[in-house]
Chain A
């Protein structure tokens, strides 16, 4: 019996690969991986289909988010939840206000977090369109996109967040004899 060339190549590749030492566990089906693999890179890789507008987002926000985050994203009193809007220019001041607008470095990961963890009492219940809409509303409230911008898997990664370059590597230890110089901000990193 003659094997097709591609089959021979596959067998050779399989033999060349390191064999498992214990052989415990099993190979997952592709569908099993797909079912669990919601992972969204900061460049937007992994964002699903769907679209959202600021207007729709305003509506979803009022119904699902405002109770904790305040009517305009200013943060709630009790239960006290994160403010989502404002704080631009405050990071160097004695009272920095960290919000999506002032601190969050990548737009696609806002989509990921809202989709993953919000609303607090029923995470995972928003539709993809609703999540795109909420992100649009929040970015608009932070003055980052316009009233009529539409967000989807193509447009969301193109948004450059104001604090994109605000993060530096860990240079501890930073005290005592071993202290290293603090890292300086490098643009475009």
Chain B
């Protein structure tokens, strides 16, 4: 206590002094204050970003905000990790408030040993961490038909990348002793609508995580606190949040979110179902829609690439609507994770288009918008991984080239 009161006196005295002297400060030529300086802010238990930083998720304009999506400001997140506070959200029934001490995960169905785990149980088990992206199947969904998203945040912001920590789902299923005839698992969330998705058992045994950690701390509430599935490379909707139950079964349950929604309409009236993998995709985040270049000269073109089928092998950039050149890929270059690409560029002040295309380790080349629409038609809605073309106008403004 003596230490505290001494410190208080010191702070108060300093504050009074700096107030007195505030009128006397002078600026050096470099803009740095000389003479007596105001002491900065104290230590604090949980940090916040600088008051000057304003990057924020974009919210929909609808009245009900317990359902729908918010978009990550991709042009304002350097590197490959999305800050947890800016990870895109997708809600079907609001964010539940869950006390981790009360939370349970039930594994049952076609297993010889049904199990219930507490959060403490799960933390005792061998854990793994991996960096991977999660992308909503509906990311860039306006792209097939109308193409009117003015910024990369609104056109591509339903994808984010985090480091996730948890237990391998395969480990938990082995503990429960899955029966040979099992083919699927039904995953269920603890949100108000108890959302369900069916997932093939092969993927469940392979690389799915039952995650409790995100970027060095517990999951954010809107990301499924205290427990969620993380399914590397697969559409976001299947990564069930607030995970409370896994039923091992022999067939998919054909739930609303795998039939009525998240199915892809083809021109012949059929719809593809269980289109899980998010295919290779990239987008230039600078220069991108809504930005303005101050004038001709040097800039670094940069952006993000990712593939649900493995590593990004190459990203090519075109600034003349025709020829492609390789961008530099920054390490780490991890499978099913964001890969940052960069390319130095000199803008001559003329109107140009800027676009990128990703090639993943399977050899798959990110298609153009026209290639996609030729096969899928304009009503496909989900899984749009087409190339995005930005136009840099002579006044430096950047717009959607297709608008």
Contacts and interface: CB of A to CB of B under 8 A. Distances in A.
Interface of A: 17-18, 20-22, 24-28, 32-33, 36-42, 78-80, 91-92, 94, 96, 98, 100, 103-106, 109, 112-113, 116-117, 120, 123-124, 166-179, 182-183, 185
B362 interface: yes
Grouping DSSP codes into helix (H, G, I), strand (E, B) and loop, the A interface class, with mixed when no group exceeds half, is loop
B265 A41 contact: no
B115 interface: yes
Contacts of A124: 192, 194
Given A106-B254, A174-B375, A167 B259 contact: yes
A69 to B, nearest CB: 13
Given A123-B193, A173-B364, A178-B363, A167 B121 contact: no
Contacts of B247: 37, 39
Grouping DSSP codes into helix (H, G, I), strand (E, B) and loop, the B interface class, with mixed when no group exceeds half, is loop
Interface stretch (B35-43, B225-233, B268-276, B311-319): B268-276
Contacts of B275: 170, 172
Given A27-B115, A28-B115, A170-B275, A103 B253 contact: no
Interface of B: 62-64, 66-67, 92-93, 106, 108, 112-118, 121, 124-126, 171, 174-175, 177, 186, 188, 192-196, 244-245, 247, 249, 251, 253-256, 259-260, 263, 265-277, 279, 362-365, 367, 371-372, 375-376, 378-379, 383
A171 B121 CA distance: 40
What 9 A-B pairs have minimum CB-CB distances, sorted nearest first?
Answer: A117-B193, A92-B269, A91-B269, A175-B367, A25-B115, A113-B256, A167-B273, A25-B117, A170-B275
Given A26-B116, A78-B63, A92-B269, A117 B92 contact: yes
Contacts of B259: 104-106, 109, 167
A88 to B, nearest CB: 11
Nearest to B190: A36
Nearest to A186: B270
A17 B390 CA distance: 60
A171 B272 contact: yes
A20 B177 CA distance: 8
B64 A120 contact: yes
Contacts of B174: 21
